[in-house]
Each structure stands twice: as structure tokens, then as C-alpha cells.
Copies of this chain bind each other. A is one copy, B any other.
Amino acid sequence: MSGINKVILVGHLGKDPEVRHLDGGVTVASFPLATSETYNKDGKRIEQTEWHNIVLWRGLAEVASKYLQKGKLVYIEGKLRTRSFEDKERVKKYVTEVVAENFTILGRKSDFEQTPSTGENSTPKSESDYIDPNDTSGDLPF
């Protein structure tokens, strides 16, 4: 009870988002995201890259499939989820994913040509026009 499970990432997409439409019309998108970190070791700069499996659902998946491409720099907020599955040999395996709840494209101007801000960052400043990032029934939030 009363837990917090929050992940904040800034990194580059390793591939274009892969989009699937589940039975019932639910959209899911996923892509690998690289977060790199540089540090000194014995006077040399070492770069260490960590790869994350990003998963997005519904409206967020659709926005992602439209505006995110391989190489783009994004801020992603989400939560951790570890799920099990069986591989081809029917061996049970586990994978930990970051289920995105919100993302924002960062970076170069050219990246913004057709861009959004998404998720809860679209919450209203005034009290007039809340756009539900999870709502797929209507217009996208931009």
C-alpha cells in the first residue's frame, strides 16, 4: 500500500517505435531507449550506456508512433514493471520494462517541426480544458 514507482529518463531512441494493435483496439508501442553517462576512470573519459525497454499504451502509443523516431532525444516519465513470458523453448523468462506515462521531445529545433508535449505535461494551467492523454476517442492533444 502507498507505494511510489517512478522512473525518469532522458535518452535517445535506439529504433523507431514498434506499434501493435491488440484485440479490442488497444494500441501498444515500444522502443529501446539509451541513456548514456560519462565519467572519468584513470584520467580517461568512459561512456557507459544503459538500454531501457519503453512501452506505451493507448493514446500515448499513438502519439509516440507519430512523433518519435530513432535517434530522437526524449524525456520519459513512467513506472517499472517486470513481467514474465515464455520464450520459444517455453522457458520462463523475465523482462523489466518502463511503462511510459508521459513524454516530451527534447533537442534540436528540427526535431520540433511537428512536435508536441504529451501526457500530463498537457494538463491545464487554468481550470478550463483538461486533455486526457489516455483518451483515444478524440483529437490528439495538439
Decide yes or no whether A142 CB sits under 8 A from chain B: yes
**Interface residues contributed by chain A, number (CB under 8 Å):** 75
A50:B134 contact, CB within 8 angstroms:
no
A16 CB–B CB distance under 8 Å: no
Contact of A125 among B37, B94, B124 (CB under 8 A): B37
Q: Which one of B93, B95, B101, B117 contacts A38 once the chains associate, using CB atoms below 8 Å?
A: B117
Given A93-B93, A107-B106, check contact A11 B7 (CB 8 Å). Answer: no
Minimum CB–CB distance from A123 to chain B (whole Å) comes to 6
- Contact status of A9 and B2, CB under 8 A, knowing A141-B40, A142-B45: no
Which residue of B is nearest A4, CB measured?
B10
